[in-house]
Structure 1
Amino acid sequence: MKQLSILAKIENQMERFSPAEKKIAAYILGHAELVPNMTTKELSRNAGASEASVVRFCKSIGIGSFTALKLALVRELTIADMNINDFSIIEKQDAPYDLFNKVTYVNKAAIEATTTTIDKRELEKAAEAIVNAGKILFYGVGGSAASAMDACYKFTKLGYVSAMSLDFHTMLPLAANLKEGDVFVAISTSGRTKDVLEISRFAKKQHATVVAITKLDPSSPLYKEADIKLCLPDVEQDYRIGSMASRMTQLNVIDALYLITFHKVGSRVIEKFHETREEVVRLRR
C-alpha cells in the first residue's frame, strides 16, 4: 500500500484536528512552499495559532517535530511533485526547456531548504576549524567526489595545503599524515558510504577534526561519528538517475565555507590572488 504524502495526510485528517490545528493545517495546505523557511513562531503567527499548537499539530500527524515537518515538505515539494530524478522520467514527454525549468526549480528549492538543516553553531565550529587548519583533506565518492574536488580547488586558492583524491588507496597515506589541528571534510549524502566512513575513522585516529557534509540523519554512521556536522536536507531517493539536488546542496555549503574563510583570511592572501589572476590572463594570450 502506497504511503500518503504529508500534504495528503494533513488533508485527510482535517476533521480530526482541534480548531487551532485546523488553522495551521489550512495555512500549510495553502502555503506549503513557504513553510520550510519558517520558524515555529512565524508559522504560528501566520496561521493565527500558538506555538504550542504547532508542536501539537506535528504530533497529531505523526511527525515528531516542526523540523521534521519542514524536511518532509521539502522532500515532497522538490521530489514527489516534480519527479525528475527517477526512471519514470522516460515515460514523460517533457520538452527540453520544460526539463530545464524543473531542474532549476528543484535545485533552487533544495538549496533554500538547507537553511532549515544547517545548525548555526556547527557552521561556526566548522569555520573556526578550517580557518585554523594546517592541512585540509576532502573526500567523497560518486557524485560527492565532484564536490570534494571543487572544495579542494577553492581552498588551495586560499593558500591552504589542501588535497583530495578519487582513489581510496591514495587517500590512505594522505590521511595518515594528518595531525591534531588538521581537518578532514567527509562528503556523503547518505552518511553510509563505506569508503568515506573508513577514511573518516582513519583521520580521527590521527586526531584530525572530522567535518561531515551529509544529510540530516541521526541514525547514519557519519552523522554519529563526525566531530562537526553540516547537515543537508534529504531531497533525493536512493534509487535515482544521478546526484542532482543533493550535489547542489553540497556545493552550496562548500561555497559558504569558502566565503567565510576568505572573509577571515582575505587580507593575507589577496596579493597572491592578484598574482594568480595576472598569470591566468597572461596564459590566455
Structure 2
Amino acid sequence: MLSILSTIQEKIEEFSRAERKVAQYVLDNFEFIINSTITDIANNAKVSEASVLRFCKTIGIGSFKAFKLALVRELDENTLNINDFSLLQAKDSAYEIFNKVTYINKYTLEMTKTSLDKKELEKAIGLISNAKRIAFFGVGGSGPTALDANYKFVKLGFSTLNSLDFHAMLSLIANLEKGDILIALSTSGKTKDVLEVVRFAKKFDAQIIAITSLEKSPLYNEADVKLCFPNFEKDHRVGSIASRIAQLNIIDTLYLKTFHIVGTKVIDKYQNAREEVLKLRR
C-alpha cells in the first residue's frame, strides 16, 4: 500500500462528511487522480472544490498541486525508475521496456502540466519575444536539449548563442547585454558549469530563464523565470529519459508560441529555405 493512501485510510475518521467523500473517491480511483483537475474530483465526489482543498490540508498537504505531486512520487518504483541502475537486475523483455518508457514519458508530460506555472510561462514568452539575443546552455543530458532549442530559435531570426563547451560558452555570454536572455537547463539545478554561466550572464544584466525540476535548487533561486517539471529521476541513472522529454516539451512550447508572435516576419524566409531544401534533395 502506498503511504499516501495509507495516510488517507488512517485519517478517515478525522474527515468531515464532505472530506470523506473525497477520500473514498481518491481510494477508489487512485490511478485517475493524477490526470484530474480539482474540478473533476469535486464533481465526481459530489462536493465543492473547497472541500477538496480541505481534504488535502487534513492529510498534511498544503495544496491540490502538491497532493498530485505527492501521488506521483509514490508510484511503483519499477515504473518510475526505469533508467535507474536497478534496471540491470530487471528481467523485462525489450517490448516490456518499450511499454514502460512510453508510460513514463506520457506520465511526465501529464505531470509537467501540473508543475508548470502558467504565469511564469507567459513571463518567459514576453522576455523571449522582446529579446535580441538568446543564449542556451545545458550540460550532460540537458546539452542536446539546449542545442535543439538553439536550432529552433535561430530559424525565427534571433541571434542565438550555444556551445556544449563551458569555456566557449563563457566567451559567448560576454556578448550579452541588458534585455538579452539566457535559458539555462539543468534537471538537478545544481550543475556547477550551468550555475557559473548563469552568474556570469547576470553580470551583463541578462534575464535568466531556468528549465529545471520543481525542487528548490541554486538554479531555481538564481532564475528570473522558473519553468519547472517534476523530477522522477535518481542521481544514479543510466541516462536522462523523463527529464529530457519534459525539457523538450517546454522548449517546443516556447518555440511555437514565439513563432505565433513573430511568424509574419519570418514566414517568407521559412518558405525560401524550404524551397531551397527541396531543390537540393538527392
Query: Normalising to structure 2: TM-score of the pair?
Result: 0.92
**Residue by residue, what CA displacement relative to the aligned partner does 1:93-132 show, whole Å, maximum 9, x if unpaired?**
2111111111011101101111111111111111111111
Between stretches 33-42 and 143-152, larger displacement belongs to 33-42
Q: Does 1:69 align with 2:56?
A: no
| 2:231 counterpart (231, 234, 249) | 234
Sort the Cα spacing of 1:113 and 1:79 in 2 relative to 1 into closer, same or farther, 3 A.
farther
SS at match of 1:229: strand
Greater shift, 72-81 or 154-163, is seen at 72-81
Q: Cα distance, 1:189 vs. partner? A: 1.1
- Write the letter of the residue equivalent to 1:42: D
Deviation at 1:12, TM superposition (A): 4.5
**Equivalent residue for 1:96, pick from 94, 103, 110:** 94
Deviation at 1:211, TM superposition (A): 0.5
Aligned residue type for 1:62: G
Q: 1:100-111 residue pairs with structure 2 within 5 A?
A: 100-111=98-109
Distance 1:239 1:15, change over 3 A: farther
1:182 paired residue number: 180
CA distance in 1, matches of 2:94, 2:217: 37
Residues 32-57 of structure 1 show CA distances to partners (whole Å, capped at 9, x for unaligned) of: 34323433333222222333332232
Note the residue ranges of structure 1 that are not aligned, 5 or more in a row. Answer: none
Give the alignment's Cα RMSD to 1 decimal. 2.0
Give the superposition deviation at 1:210: 0.6
Cross-structure match for 2:272: 275
2-structure distance, mates of 1:240, 1:20: 43
Cα–Cα, structure 1 residues 228 and 78, in superposed 2: closer, same or farther, change >3 Å?
Answer: farther
1:156-195 correspondence to structure 2 within 5 Å: 156-195=154-193
Query: What amino acid sits opposite 1:186 in the alignment?
Result: A
Q: Distance in 2 between matches of 1:69 and 1:132?
A: 36
Q: Which aligned pairs between 1:1-285 and structure 2 lie closer than 5 A?
A: 5-77=3-75, 81-217=79-215, 219-285=216-282
Q: 1:265 to 1:16 in 2, by over 3 A?
A: same
The alignment-based identity, stated in percent, is 58
For the residues of structure 2 that align with 1:31 and 1:127, how far apart are their CA atoms?
36
C-alpha distance in 1, partners of 2:76/2:101?
10
Number of equivalenced pairs: 282
Stretches of structure 2 lacking an aligned partner (at least 5 in a row): none
Is the 8 Å Cα contact of residues 79 and 100 (structure 2) preserved in structure 1? no
Aligned counterparts of 1:79 and 1:71: Cα–Cα separation in 2: 15
Find the aligned partners of 1:79 and 1:134 in 2 and give their Cα distance. 44
Q: Structure 2: how far apart are the matches of 1:153 and 1:39?
A: 35
Give the secondary structure class of the aligned counterpart of 1:213: strand
User: Quick check: 53-62 or 163-172, which moved more?
Assistant: 53-62
CA contact 2:81–2:233 (8 Å) conserved in 1:
no
